[in-house]
Chain A
Amino acid sequence: MIEIENVRKSFGPLEVLKGIDLTVKKGEVLTIIGGSGSGKSTLLTCINGLEPIDSGRIRVDGTEVHARGTDLNKLRRKLGIVFQQWNAFPHLTVIENVMLAPRKVLGIGKAEAAAIAEKQLSHVGLGDKLDVYPSRLSGGQQQRMAIARALAMSPGYMLFDEVTSALDPQLVGEVLDTLRMLASEGMTMICVTHEMKFAREVSDRVAFFSKGVMAEIGTPQQIFDAPLNAETAAFVKLTQD
């Protein structure tokens, strides 16, 4: 379970998170929507401790992320994150990209790590690309590789930060299909996305962020068909035209 309590975060004079309260249960798929600058991506990087917070508390399975003495390297094994930019390690082949963290962070042997990597890569449809370098892959393939790389650590949670935003339109589908598959397998996911149709389909709950505040959270039906908040209504209307 991820528990977020009254989290505030500023970059210089700009307050990007103004007291967020949110709980994500095991097995839940939560999507976060909202305009750019609403703080949704920042929240994800705060959850895995890549960004410090100014006040409040984030707990992952009871461990407080920003507490002094929390071993972030250990905590991050539980939290897979995939970014908008896929960030392949360009000097490693596809399978080596996926094997690296299991080997070095978890200390898994080479053969076993290769087996894990092969399984995850086949899972995201890259079983035939194991030994090529990432530069030979399309953006969609690289993004799926990044997903496999995160999954190879067997995380309890997956965080997706606008994973389709940097892709050519014709490549968005294959990545969303991968996310749908993960959701259907029961993975706990927080997806920051601009893909409204996808959000409606896969989410258990949808949260709408606006100017650093969670303006509304509810079922996809509530958010997309009968929003209670005027800003949510305006945003949904704008993005569905």
Chain B
Amino acid sequence: MFETALTFQDMMFLAQGAVQTLLVTAIAVVLGTALGIIFGVFRFQVGPWWAAPLTFVLDVFRSIPLLIQLVLANAFLGMVLKLKLSGFTVACGVLTLYTAAYCAEIVRGAIGAVPSTTRRAARSLGMSWRQDMAYIVLPLATRVALPSWIGLALGVMKDSALVYIVQVTELLKSTQILITRLQEPLLLLIICGAFYFVISFPIARFGGYLEKRWSND
């Protein structure tokens, strides 16, 4: 406990933080993307006028700094609604909506990038709206959306460092705890950065691989 050198236990402590980071990120990206697709399709389908209320809400989540969103959401849920939620749940909830807000924009843009003439050709073959969406729009829009979406996922992972404010000890918070004890900020931050890199790099490479694979058609 009063060691001043980096021990195996310390590395395990950091790894636990990394697991928290990964968990929060994975939940937020998966749920946020699902919601973002629904919101994005809705916005595209009903047009700007009918989507205005939703657009406004999403804009709120996009324009207020995440740190403030987390603090306010935590206070609102706990003190106003008197809900006993763990910091982890609050963190996942806020980060999910934050991800969804950005993802909705990506999805809307990607659907808009599918030429209307291509969609018309699909409909003229007797395909329903649903079939056109599933077999034409989805695959084509995915290709357009992928680079932005990878960027969003990586961004959310790094932004997830802010959930320490609702008492989730993720990777960066774990690092700070160790810095306080060991007084080795540079070494520990390098290790922490390396952790983030190890998580991000495969995702970025996987995105690059998909882009390359799809570019031949």
Chain A residues in the interface with B (C-beta under 8 A): 48, 50, 73-74, 76-77, 79, 81, 83, 85, 87, 89-93, 100-101, 104-105, 133-135, 146, 149-150, 153
* Residues of A contacting B: mostly: loop
Asked if B121 CB lies within 8 Å of chain A CBs, one says: yes
* Shortest CB distance A21–B (Å): 24
> How far is A154 from B216 in the complex, measured between Cα atoms in Å?
31
> How far is A76 from B129 in the complex, measured between Cα atoms in Å?
13
Chain B residues in the interface with A (C-beta under 8 A): 115, 117-118, 120-128, 131, 135-136, 139-140, 143, 214, 216-217
Is the CB–CB distance between A104 and B131 below 8 Å? yes
Interface centre among A73, A93, A134 (most CB of B within 10 A): A73
- Which residue of A50, A79, A149, A150 is within 8 Å of B120 (Cβ)? A50
Nearest residue in B to A152 (C-beta to C-beta)? B125
* Residues of B contacting A: mostly: helix
Residues of A within 8 A of B216 (CB): 133
Residues of A within 8 A of B124 (CB): 48, 50, 76, 79, 81
Is the CB–CB distance between A101 and B125 below 8 Å? yes
Is the CB–CB distance between B121 and A104 below 8 Å? no
Is the CB–CB distance between A73 and B127 below 8 Å? yes
Residues of A within 8 A of B125 (CB): 76, 100-101, 105, 149-150, 153
> How far is A79 from B126 in the complex, measured between Cα atoms in Å?
9
> How far is A87 from B139 in the complex, measured between Cα atoms in Å?
15
Is the CB–CB distance between B126 and A146 below 8 Å? no
Nearest residue in B to A100 (C-beta to C-beta)? B135
Is the CB–CB distance between B126 and A153 below 8 Å? yes
- Which 7 A-B pairs have CB atoms at the shortest separation, nearest pair first? A87-B121, A101-B125, A133-B217, A76-B126, A105-B126, A77-B126, A81-B124
